Amino acid sequence: MKLLQVADLKEHMKQINKEDKCNVFDGKWVYDPKQSPFYQGAQCPFLSDQVSCQSNGRADFMYEKWSWEAKGCKIPRFNGTDMLERLRGKRVIVVGDSLNRNQWESLACLLYSALPPSQAQVDVESGIYKIFTAKEYNCSVEFYWSPFLMQLEINQKNGARILRLDRVADSAKKWVGADVMVFNTGHWWVHNGKIKAWDLFQNGGKTVENMEIESAFEKAMNTWARWIDQNVDVTKTRVFFRSISPEHKGKLWCYNKTQPITDDSYETTFPRKIIEAIERTMQRMKTPVTYLNITKLSQYRRDAHPMIYKTKQWKQLAMQQRRPESSADCSHWCLPGLPDTWNRLLYASLLLDTSEVILSS
């Protein structure tokens, strides 16, 4: 494929990078059925049941057909063939919780649908959720399950679950050498009650039962930042951190919603101190980290969650419950859907570091 030097487009991309002129994360959703979605869910047989809303019986399609437009500049449309060319011979790792798995499934599907099926492979390996490989391009997109980014250990004597704030996850040895890294964390830190995943914190050789979550989280982020600074070659690797993916609960519950929120004043209720700790950490690091700040643009999209269509058995489950909406998934996202926009913005960010653009015919 020929790489075309396009001076005016290069200059346009430079403008996108200047936040005082254009912030690609600030804009509005526009209904655009001609441009969206980027693929059909049936094109990607590896999509998990949880995000396969159409095959699970969701009847409406409008949530697939919204396009994000930035204020003051045009965001490049995702080009799967171009992305594969840029990733030739490279590794992408996506590390974090199930929302980053959601993003991995989206990215894998965007690339998979740009290839003949014989040229793509999806594997499950020990310690890895899935690996997408594009054979001709010798590139991979890998997902590593690590909702805290830290090591969670089980005490063999008493079964206590110990969250190490001073040690990154064991899978970190597989992160080393990747060319693109996309991280997230946050949601599992604020879980309480039965869904809380740890019993004790350990930091610097000391084990404690109680610690303010914000303090524990900041210690963990500092550990992650130190690992990045010590292990990433900035001449080779781009590091991204994706912001909090908002849930839609309470008054803005996602159940049966088919339109985005249009109220600009709406904001997520996720603890602000957690978000601030992430932003402070990135500001202190010597390694440049690109912040994929998708929180605000995602807040509007309460229509794009799986809701009750998170399983093919949704009808049976609905009949078993008086209020089927009480079990609606208002955290994850249908595919095709919102995470495709996250990856479109990831793609745009990668374009900013290049002087060549591949134009689709």
What residues act catalytically?
Answer: 98, 329, 332
- On whether the CB atoms of residues 112 and 106 are closer than 8 A, the answer is no
Q: Where are the beta strands (DSSP E) in the chain?
A: 27-31, 66-70, 91-96, 120-125, 128-134, 139-145, 150-154, 161-168, 180-183, 200-203, 206-208, 238-242, 289-292
Which residues have a Cβ under 8 Å from the Cβ of 59 and sit 6 or more positions away?
Answer: none
Phi, psi for 289 (deg, rounded to 5): -125, 125
Phi, psi for 110 (deg, rounded to 5): -60, -40
Which residues have a Cβ under 8 Å from the Cβ of 63 and sit 6 or more positions away?
Answer: 258, 301, 303, 304, 334, 337
- On whether the CB atoms of residues 150 and 169 are closer than 8 A, the answer is yes
| Calpha distance 341→347 (Å, rounded) | 10
Residue whose structure tokens are 């997109």: 141
DSSP conformation class of 201:
E
